[in-house]
């Protein structure tokens, strides 16, 4: 974050909805047009073109792919982006087992998926990720998957939560590696400790506020 002509410039987010699961893919962009790609879920050529066209039109410079977790709907586009932009792919080590089961998950849903991407580095809980001068805090939030993480940007009052917390709902815990009690602990200890005005950008559906979920989420009362 920096100050220019008395205006504070911060990381901004662009969002896209992709694939049959209506997954939210995000771009995190700084003032120099460097960007991270979060949970790229592009399933077909038209979706891939939509994201790449946006990147090129806005002269963005992808620096890496950072994933909240590795369920199939969040990784469809990873391999293509790695090859096009020559950028690394990172996620939490405990979700490597989820990534390795991607092809069997695709078969279960009747989905064509052949390119399981290689992990280039692991993201650790509590780590600070830097995009230029801006910093993202990594919060470890297992329960939906064993290595689910949340990216929190305090200066902008927002977090990207993956499938941990939704507007009026919570992530599934019936998939391999899921655990309801673990998810509840993650939400209460890692998300509900954020300021109430924090905007939560989820892996599916519309964004929400921490304060609203405390008050109205039927799964969390």
DSSP secondary structure of 25-43: EEEEE-TTSEEEEES----
Give me the number of domains the chain comprises: 1
Q: What is the pLDDT of residues 26-40, one digit of tens each?
A: 999 999 999 999 999
Token reading at 15: 């969002």
**25 DSSP β-pair partners:** 16
CATH of the domain at 37: 3.60.15.10
Helix (H, G, I), strand (E, B) or coil at 150: strand
Residue 221 lies in a domain: no
Range of the domain at 28: 2-216
Residue 118 Cα distances to 78, 80, 99, 121, angstroms: 9, 12, 9, 9
Identify whether 144 is part of a domain.
yes
**Is residue 183 in a domain?**
yes
Query: Does the predicted model carry a pTM greater than 0.85?
Result: yes
* Long-range contacts of residues 132-140, Cβ cutoff 8 Å, at least 24 apart: 132/30, 132/31, 132/32, 132/34, 133/1, 133/2, 133/30, 134/1, 134/10, 134/11, 134/30, 136/11, 136/28, 139/190, 139/191, 140/92, 140/186, 140/190
23 within domain boundaries: yes
Reported as a single tens digit per residue, the pLDDT across 133-190 is 999 999 999 999 999 999 999 999 999 999 999 999 999 999 889 999 999 999 999 9
């Amino acid at each position: 974050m920096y100050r220019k002509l008395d205006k504070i410039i911060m990381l901004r987010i662009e969002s896209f909805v992709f694939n049959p699961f209506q997954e939210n893919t995000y771009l995190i962009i700084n003032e120099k047009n460097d960007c991270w790609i979060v949970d790229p879920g592009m399933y077909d050529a038209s979706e891939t073109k939509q994201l790449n066209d946006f990147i090129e039109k806005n002269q963005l410079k992808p620096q890496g792919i950072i994933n909240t977790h590795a369920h199939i709907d969040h990784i469809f586009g990873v391999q293509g982006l790695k090859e096009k932009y020559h950028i690394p792919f990172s996620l939490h080590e405990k979700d490597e087992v989820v990534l390795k089961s991607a092809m069997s998950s695709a078969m279960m849903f009747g989905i064509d998926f052949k390119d399981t991407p290689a992990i280039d580095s692991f993201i650790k809980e509590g780590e600070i990720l830097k995009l230029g001068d801006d910093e993202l805090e990594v919060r470890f939030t297992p329960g939906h998957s064993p290595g689910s993480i949340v990216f929190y940007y305090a200066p902008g009052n927002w977090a990207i939560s993956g499938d941990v917390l939704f507007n009026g709902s919570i992530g599934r815990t019936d998939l391999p590696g899921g655990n309801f009690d673990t998810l509840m602990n993650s939400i209460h200890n890692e998300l509900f400790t954020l300021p109430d005005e924090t905007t939560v950008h989820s892996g599916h559906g519309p964004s929400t506020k921490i304060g609203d979920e405390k008050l109205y989420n039927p799964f969390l009362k």
